[in-house]
Structure 1
Amino acid sequence: MKTVGPDAETTEIAAATPNARRAVRADIQGLRALAVVAVILNHVIGWPAGGFAGVDVFFVISGFLITGLIVRDLDANGRVSLRRFYGKRLRRILPAAVTVLVATSVAAWFLFNRPRAVATLWDAVYSFFFVSNWHFAAEGTDYFHATDAVSPLQHFWSLSVEEQFYLVWPWLLVILLFVTAKLVRTRARRLLIVGAVVAVVIAVSFAFALWETAANPTVAYFSTFSRAWELGAGALLAVAAPLFAKLPIAVRFVLGWLGLAGVVWSFFVVSSETPFPGPWAALPVAATALVVVAGIGGPQRYLFPLHNPVSVFLGDISYSLYLWHFPILVFLLMLMPQQTQTVTLIILGLTLAVSMVSYFLVEQPIHRSPWLQRVGSQESDAEARRDARRDAWQSWRDRFSAQFILSSLGLVVIVVAVVVTAQVTVRGGPSAAGPGGGAPAAAPADGAAAAPVNPEDQLQADLAAAASATEWPGNLSPSLDDAISHTSDRNPAKKCFDIGSTPDFGSCTWGDGNAPNHLYLVGDSTALAYAPAFKALAESSGGQWKITTIGLYGCRFTDVLMQNDGAGVMDACPQRKDDIAREIAANAPQLVVVSNAFALGKSADGRALSTTDIVASTGAEVAQYGAAGRVVYLAPPPLGASLGQCYSPVSSPQSCNVGVDQAWQDFLAATTAAASATGDHVVSSLPFSCANGVCPAFAGTLPTKYDTVHMTPEYSAHIAPALRWEFAAQGLM
């Protein structure tokens, strides 16, 4: 899910002096309202598809306002007070942000499973230091975090980009203005030189955004370097403001409406499939620039969609709206996972209510407080300055005391409503006793021959009991928290599927090295998840089988290289497949088991691949092994619910139950047809993954998966007897 956010700057346009009269540009407030509404609707209901482009609107506004403040401060005072600048930024940004970070962290501790709660605490730390964009970029390119539940603080990435801009840009601008003041005498020429430098920064950053979007779109989306040109566009408008101040009102009228139409249009033209931020962010950036330019010469009262009391008010609270909407969305969908129209209205209503309370209780009062402001004349003695500061704080208390009381009452009402909602929707926590594991097989009568016991029967009984359970069992080992935390760390074959050079085949082989039969298990991370089962098969075979488990997570074993965002996966994939193909062809094993994800994807050149394409491409890759008739295609478990998201102290096992997805069924059918044509074999995963079409998160006392796709190592080893039964049924073992 893409998340975006508004800049945290005000829309003050008067001279940046301590006592300057402040005027607010209503059109910019309206733009901020439009952008934040688009962002919230995009996140809550998925419409408009390009609502996340609101971030670009905010970036342009932020660059324009910050640069304008610095230029005007220099013009008015002959110097720039960076102390006052950063003090104002801290009062404006930090209190509301810290409030959200603390509230979200506390709520996460009580509502999330333990690994997700801890991850949220770390997200809060990164967000507090305004480096969360790099943190989320790194997680987005980490294969083992690709299916993690979304963080309720992911939207802080855009604030991090802006704060990094605030940290660096004022210093660069002051240096530029100082140097140009020494070189040229007139203000116009100084601004011309500064504008030229800013234009170069914009061009370089935009070119970088184009390259990084094509090479690594996840990092490009979060990267400060690929977003700097958007902030720079706003800065250039501020530097060139004198040129636009004299535009005729008719021209400003056309530019304003054209820009507004462009901003709205961008929300519908852009989508998650659009290359972003390069080049498509240029559309909302350019459109926002037109609206900003149109208002430089005076108020745009004719632009009524932006210049009206409702839009201006929403613009005033847009920072709070943005900060609160995403945590509220994530937490409420955990409490009420079925997003009905009523739930959607609750999310939107609670977001508005909490944001208003936050604005009037925290954001506005602290922003207008004497905190971090110099009060009194610098020439006054210490006692006079203390008196002035005491008077300033008293005046502040007198101004906001009634507002504090009313806002606090509103907060109490909201807390009571949320607590009542939580009590109604919580469906039970962990129980001391789990569901039954199925009745044990009856002992044979004396002298009667024991019939072979199908181990799948017990698995089916365990899965059926789990699918009907309404409370989480308390005797799971490992616990679900532990399973989510460790993922594949405890998988004995993990190094055999790591990125890098091809591992030694001997170190990835289990069982008696002199065993007469040899089996290879190869594929992507689904094969890695099956590795503990095959290790158990080898070690329990009585010296009859040795089994080599090797592959590469994220690397589909197809002859067409498929796209994967995992760092280094696509670079290592071709060589790994070639090395494994040569090894298998040289050793001529009795069986080759291939297990790949049952999921659609794209080739390395961006071509969309159908189910038939991928299955055929898998067959072409396997043909290199020279093992026709001795190949087994082992299906992965059907796609499950995200365990990190569906499991929590306030959910029930029913939240994690899923059916067999259609894509899985299509892949199984296509794989079965292709295997029949070559005399190969297919083994379904349904006997040990689902019961009666329902796939639960645990079976008996074992968690089945640690995410949406991969089995836990413990459960994988547990299903080894069932796999042996399936192989024996087809005469393979």
Structure 2
Amino acid sequence: MKGRDTALDGIRACAALGVWLLHVGSNTGVMYREGMYSWMMARLGIAVPVFFLLSGLLLYRPWARAVIEGTPRPALLRYLWRRVLRVMPAYWLVAGLALWAWSSLGWLDWVKWMLLLQSYFPGDPAPDGLYQMWTLPIEMAFYVLLPLLAWALHRWARRGGNPPVRLLAGIAVLPVISVVTVVATREFGQSQLALTLPYNLVFFAGGMAMAVLSVWIGHSRVIDALAPQLLVLALILYAVLSTGLAGPRTLTLPTLSESLTRMSLEAAIAVLVVAPFALAPRTGSLRHRVLGNPVSAYLGRISYSFFLWHVPVITLQLKLTGAPPFGGDFPSVAVVSLMVSLLLSVGTYHLIEVPALKLARRRSAPALPPAAPAPAPVAPAP
């Protein structure tokens, strides 16, 4: 697929709204009430695996194309430069404001947060308004590791046989690493490992495998025909995820079986949701018209800024209203935080994200050869 896929932007928008609703529900206590509705709200963290899968899909695809189609591989420094400019400027703004407003951290802790190293120091206090940022160190670790993974997979796939099949076989090792990390997390009581890349590699691996398939087979008629069933199956699995089988709703550590069940269900749901759009990109289909319409696509483009802003906005709102912990008013918190976060996101996207992306493209664009002289006009063919 060439160009921007607006349906994938729509998926990203839905995932960002899911994270927002999860945090509104947790801060107002709605998520901890009895009933299926509260349980399903508590599992909206499935949005994070969807984000991770989309990163694996979109970022690995140029390397997959290089193996399968023989195109040039992305230049390492250009790739890293684009990643830094994509993530860091908006993050620095939001994290810096939250740290200035609600923390008394020393300069060394500021450095940790500004360099996305906070997850590697589990004993440090977590400042107000930034608890959603735990995903960004994982994303950044994947960005840094991906060129090495791609290089290893490229060498493995070119040793013989069918390169796409060998790529998929190599990628299949990554979920094993996640399973081993889950076992180590529970067996040795190292809960902080859940905030690291090895624990979450399974989700990125799903996207990388989908990248290989999207290049190898292009538009899949089977996936296209089964798209409604796949999306319904994702909804059914989400209902299963919203039970005690996947562990408690609180911060209580789940058992090993609950952790593995939750990881398996989240990976399956993320794949089932994204596959109809990544492997069967038919713009005329109902699913693409719903998620790829201009409004959904735009919300997807500003979703990163929305992800950054929504927690500080919720935190500020609760502080201003004096709401007790887990006791805020759900409708008012939802409406105000949504509107304010969207407005801030629009501003951050156009004033910070877009200029940073333009700078990344300008610095990474290859020099163009001098234009050839225009040919002399010729008479039209009879």
Q: Same fold (TM over 0.5)?
A: yes
> How far apart, CA to CA, are the structure 2 residues paired with 1:97 and 1:65?
21
SS at structure 1 position matched to 2:364 = coil
Equivalences, count: 339
> How far apart, CA to CA, are the structure 2 residues paired with 1:160 and 1:152?
16
Shift of 1:323: 0.7
Structure 1 position 93 matched with structure 2 position 93: no
Residue in 2 aligned with 1:334?
A: 319
Superposition pairs of residues 46-445 of structure 1, within 5 angstroms: 46=26, 47=31, 48-72=41-65, 75=69, 77-106=71-100, 108=101, 112=102, 116-118=103-105, 124-135=110-121, 137-139=122-124, 151-181=128-158, 183-184=159-160, 189-213=162-186, 215-216=188-189, 218-241=191-214, 242-243=216-217, 245-248=219-222, 249-259=224-234, 261-262=235-236, 265=239, 268-269=242-243, 271-272=249-250, 278-295=260-277, 296-299=279-282, 301-303=285-287, 305-338=290-323, 339-340=328-329, 341-369=331-359, 373-375=363-365, 377=367
**Highest relative contact order (Cα 8 Å, sep 6+), 1 or 2?**
2
Distance 1:238 1:374, change over 3 A: closer
The residue type paired with residue 225 of structure 1 is P
> How far apart, CA to CA, are the structure 1 residues paired with 2:182 and 2:110?
27
- Residue by residue over 1:413-441, the C-alpha shift from the partner in whole angstroms, topping out at 9 and shown as x without a partner, is xxxxxxxxxxxxxxxxxxxxxxxxxxxxx
Superposition pairs of residues 671-690 of structure 1, within 5 angstroms: none
- Residue by residue over 1:195-215, the C-alpha shift from the partner in whole angstroms, topping out at 9 and shown as x without a partner, is 212102212322322441454
> How far apart, CA to CA, are the structure 2 residues paired with 1:337 and 1:291?
39
Larger C-alpha radius of gyration, 1 or 2? Answer: 1
What RMSD over aligned residues (CA atoms) do the two structures have, in Å?
2.9
Contact residue 238 and residue 265 of structure 2 kept, 8 A: no
Contact residue 241 and residue 265 of structure 2 kept, 8 A: no
SS at structure 2 position matched to 1:202 = helix
Distance 1:309 1:79, change over 3 A: closer
- Residue by residue over 1:517-576, the C-alpha shift from the partner in whole angstroms, topping out at 9 and shown as x without a partner, is xxxxxxxxxxxxxxxxxxxxxxxxxxxxxxxxxxxxxxxxxxxxxxxxxxxxxxxxxxxx
Contact residue 21 and residue 334 of structure 2 kept, 8 A: no
SS at structure 2 position matched to 1:77 = coil
Residue in 1 aligned with 2:25?
A: 45
Superposition pairs of residues 614-629 of structure 1, within 5 angstroms: none
- Residue by residue over 1:71-117, the C-alpha shift from the partner in whole angstroms, topping out at 9 and shown as x without a partner, is 235636333322332222122212211221222233x2xxx4xxx32
The residue type paired with residue 105 of structure 2 is V
> How far apart, CA to CA, are the structure 2 residues paired with 1:90 and 1:160?
12
> How far apart, CA to CA, are the structure 1 residues paired with 2:144 and 2:336?
38
Shift of 1:229: 1.7
Contact residue 101 and residue 124 of structure 1 kept, 8 A: no
> How far apart, CA to CA, are the structure 1 residues paired with 2:225 and 2:185?
40
> How far apart, CA to CA, are the structure 2 residues paired with 1:227 and 1:154?
18
Shift of 1:377: 2.4
Shift of 1:244: 6.9
Shift of 1:319: 0.5
- Residue by residue over 1:143-171, the C-alpha shift from the partner in whole angstroms, topping out at 9 and shown as x without a partner, is xx6xxx65322322211101101101222
Superposition pairs of residues 539-554 of structure 1, within 5 angstroms: none
Contact residue 156 and residue 167 of structure 2 kept, 8 A: no
SS at structure 2 position matched to 1:130 = coil
Residue in 2 aligned with 1:24?
A: 5
The residue type paired with residue 98 of structure 2 is T
SS at structure 1 position matched to 2:132 = helix
| Higher share of residues assigned strand | 1
> How far apart, CA to CA, are the structure 2 residues paired with 1:325 and 1:227?
23
Contact residue 60 and residue 233 of structure 1 kept, 8 A: yes
Shift of 1:222: 1.0
- Residue by residue over 1:35-71, the C-alpha shift from the partner in whole angstroms, topping out at 9 and shown as x without a partner, is 2112111112224112223111111111111111322
> How far apart, CA to CA, are the structure 1 residues paired with 2:301 and 2:232?
22
Contact residue 88 and residue 372 of structure 1 kept, 8 A: no
SS at structure 1 position matched to 2:21 = helix
> How far apart, CA to CA, are the structure 1 residues paired with 2:361 and 2:218?
36
Distance 1:308 1:80, change over 3 A: closer
Unaligned runs of 5+ residues in structure 1 are: 1-12, 15-21, 140-144, 385-733
SS at structure 1 position matched to 2:317 = helix
Identity, % of aligned pairs? 24
> How far apart, CA to CA, are the structure 2 residues paired with 1:263 and 1:97?
33
Distance 1:69 1:77, change over 3 A: closer
Contact residue 50 and residue 266 of structure 1 kept, 8 A: no
| TM-score, normalised by the number of residues in structure 2 | 0.78
Contact residue 62 and residue 73 of structure 2 kept, 8 A: no
Shift of 1:333: 2.0
Shift of 1:267: 7.0
Contact residue 256 and residue 290 of structure 1 kept, 8 A: yes
> How far apart, CA to CA, are the structure 1 residues paired with 2:338 and 2:238?
21
The residue type paired with residue 218 of structure 1 is S
SS at structure 2 position matched to 1:279 = helix
Contact residue 241 and residue 262 of structure 2 kept, 8 A: no
> How far apart, CA to CA, are the structure 2 residues paired with 1:216 and 1:54?
26
> How far apart, CA to CA, are the structure 2 residues paired with 1:238 and 1:222?
25
The residue type paired with residue 317 of structure 1 is I
Superposition pairs of residues 496-645 of structure 1, within 5 angstroms: none
- Residue by residue over 1:460-495, the C-alpha shift from the partner in whole angstroms, topping out at 9 and shown as x without a partner, is xxxxxxxxxxxxxxxxxxxxxxxxxxxxxxxxxxxx
> How far apart, CA to CA, are the structure 1 residues paired with 2:54 and 2:364?
27
> How far apart, CA to CA, are the structure 2 residues paired with 1:372 and 1:105?
32
> How far apart, CA to CA, are the structure 2 residues paired with 1:24 and 1:331?
35
Superposition pairs of residues 655-694 of structure 1, within 5 angstroms: none
| Higher share of residues assigned helix | 2
> How far apart, CA to CA, are the structure 2 residues paired with 1:202 and 1:225?
9
After the TM superposition, list the runs of 4 or more consecutive aligned residues in structure 1 that deviate by more than 6 angstroms: none
Distance 1:220 1:175, change over 3 A: closer
Distance 1:310 1:267, change over 3 A: farther
Contact residue 32 and residue 318 of structure 1 kept, 8 A: yes
> How far apart, CA to CA, are the structure 2 residues paired with 1:277 and 1:356?
37
Shift of 1:31: 2.0
Distance 1:277 1:349, change over 3 A: farther
Contact residue 135 and residue 195 of structure 2 kept, 8 A: yes
> How far apart, CA to CA, are the structure 1 residues paired with 2:238 and 2:296?
15
> How far apart, CA to CA, are the structure 1 residues paired with 2:75 and 2:367?
15
